[in-house]
Amino acid sequence: MSPHLLLLSLVFPLISCEVAFRINEKLSTDPEFYEQWRDLVAIQDRQMTDHPEDLYQFSTVLDQLRTCPLIRTLSDGVHNLRVNDVAIYADIGHLSTFCRHNLTRLNNGDLDSCGHHSSSSELPTLDKMIKVFNPNLTVMNVHRNHDESFVNQVKEITARIKAIPDHEEKWKMIFMLPNIQDGEASETGQAAIEVLQAIEYLNDNLPRKTFIVVLKSSGKGMWRDASHAHSACLTLLDRWKKYVDHNSESVWEQVNTIVEKNFQHQLFTVEILPLLNEGALAQFPNGSDLSSLGYDCAHWSERGLSLLHVAIWTAMLSSQSMRTREYRPVHSMPKCPEPRCPFIRTSSNSAVCLWSKIEDDPFPLAPQIIAVAILAVCALLCFILVLFLCLRKDKSTLKKEKAFGSNFSSIKFIDDDV
């Protein structure tokens, strides 16, 4: 065994058992895979530097949201819930965490856990974006175990939310972001079923002022692209083939039907986003962009997680018919709440957006006063214009009369000469 492989075998027991299961055995026993994997992380590192726009675009995401107009409404239900009404934030699932990338440490066998919460990212994520509108947002971080089920994660989140004073009167937004690794490779244990069980638990325990956003992850999508893009990803993702086979679109459609019939209330609702239905990796001229994925090809990189969160933000504020089903991890600027419907979109307000009562405004007549002032200025300008034209006409008439008199004088002079 090479010194590098020996070093890796000593380090792996210190990292999470899930990462060790997929990588430790292969790296410590398969020299060919070891070289493939090192090539993968080198490509990811190089591709990260091939995005010179990253630094600017990531830095402007929150600045863009700060320019969004603040629209005052009264949020008395899920269908007119504004982003700034959200007081408690939580997310669960393998797509809610990311792997840190440090090429030197990876080559030395110091593998990251890929369990970093979005709030720990230095890049824009949903919690930071919501904080632009509500600086007092409470972020709940579940103590993740890679083998923890959705339901167990939800139970922990629920217990911690219930410990917050007056939690029933605060709007809670919980994001469920399942990956191919969530659930089990069986009919009854697949990710969609676990998501449904988690929703049922929340409905029973947090039935008031709870808004759940589910990112549907049916099919192969980006992980199929990753498997085709690099041989190391093909090997790493091989374990999850059975998971993908049991993560069909038909099962998610059944979950969606159950949710629509049982979990759409005035103070509790679930929105299922189709972003990843036909998702794929972004493409460079020379191949797929693998920099959005972590070194295990299953989780996001820090960059990839931020790109996904911006896309989720835009989907939340878009009507159902306008939500994309073909997500690509590329830069896009976040959307402001629409002035005509500044709410997190649901099936109800996507069809007909009904405005609620305007909150007390310290200047309630300001719009009317501004309109009257504009009309007055326009009227004054029209008066000045008419007056100017009249004076100009008078001057023109006087000049013409003077010229006519001069002609008579000339005739008189001619007669005198005769």
Per-residue confidence (pLDDT) for residue 15, from 0 to 100: 39
Per DSSP, the three-state class of 84 is: helix
The region of weakest confidence among 116-120, 177-181, 280-284, 354-358 is: 354-358
Chain segment 30-53, per-residue pLDDT in tens: 889 889 999 999 999 999 887 766
Evaluate if residue 409 carries a pLDDT over 90. Answer: no
Q: How far apart are CA 82 and CA 87, in angstroms?
A: 11
Name the residue with tokens 């998610």.
Answer: 252
HSE-CB at 104 with a 13 A cutoff on CA atoms is 0
Q: How far apart are CA 47 and CA 289, in angstroms?
A: 7
Q: Are 20 and 150 in contact (CB under 8 A)?
A: no
Which of 51, 40, 26, 142 is closest to 91 using CA atoms? Answer: 142
Q: Tokens in use for 258?
A: 């159950």
Q: How far apart are CA 168 and CA 374, in angstroms?
A: 46
Name the residue with tokens 């107009």.
Answer: 69
Per-residue confidence (pLDDT) for residue 392, from 0 to 100: 67
Composition of the chain by helix, strand, coil, percent to 5: 55, 10, 35
Task: Compute CA distances 289 → 33, 162, 415, whole Å.
Answer: 20, 42, 101
Per DSSP, the three-state class of 214 is: strand
Q: How far apart are CA 75 and CA 357, in angstroms?
A: 9
Chain segment 178-233, per-residue pLDDT in tens: 887 787 767 777 888 889 999 999 999 999 999 999 998 766 778 888 989 999 99
Mean pLDDT of the chain: 81
Q: Are 174 and 210 in contact (CB under 8 A)?
A: yes
- Give mean pLDDT, residues 6-27: 51
Q: Are 281 and 329 in contact (CB under 8 A)?
A: yes
Evaluate if residue 359 carries a pLDDT over 70. Answer: no
Evaluate if residue 17 carries a pLDDT over 80. Answer: no
Per-residue confidence (pLDDT) for residue 405, from 0 to 100: 47
Helices marked H in 101-239? 103-107, 126-133, 150-162, 191-205, 221-229, 231-236
Evaluate if residue 325 carries a pLDDT over 50. Answer: yes
Q: Are 71 and 260 in contact (CB under 8 A)?
A: no
Per-residue confidence (pLDDT) for residue 152, from 0 to 100: 87
Q: Sign of dihedral through CA atoms 99, 101, 102, 106?
A: positive
Grade residue 58 by pLDDT with cuts at 50, 70 and 90. confident
Domain ranges in the chain are 3-351, 370-418
Which of 299, 184, 326 is closest to 245 using CA atoms? Answer: 184
Chain segment 110-138, per-residue pLDDT in tens: 888 888 899 999 999 999 999 999 999 99
Per-residue confidence (pLDDT) for residue 222, from 0 to 100: 82
Evaluate if residue 6 carries a pLDDT over 50. Answer: no
Q: How far apart are CA 214 and CA 216, in angstroms?
A: 6
Which of 44, 38, 14 is closest to 26 using CA atoms? Answer: 38
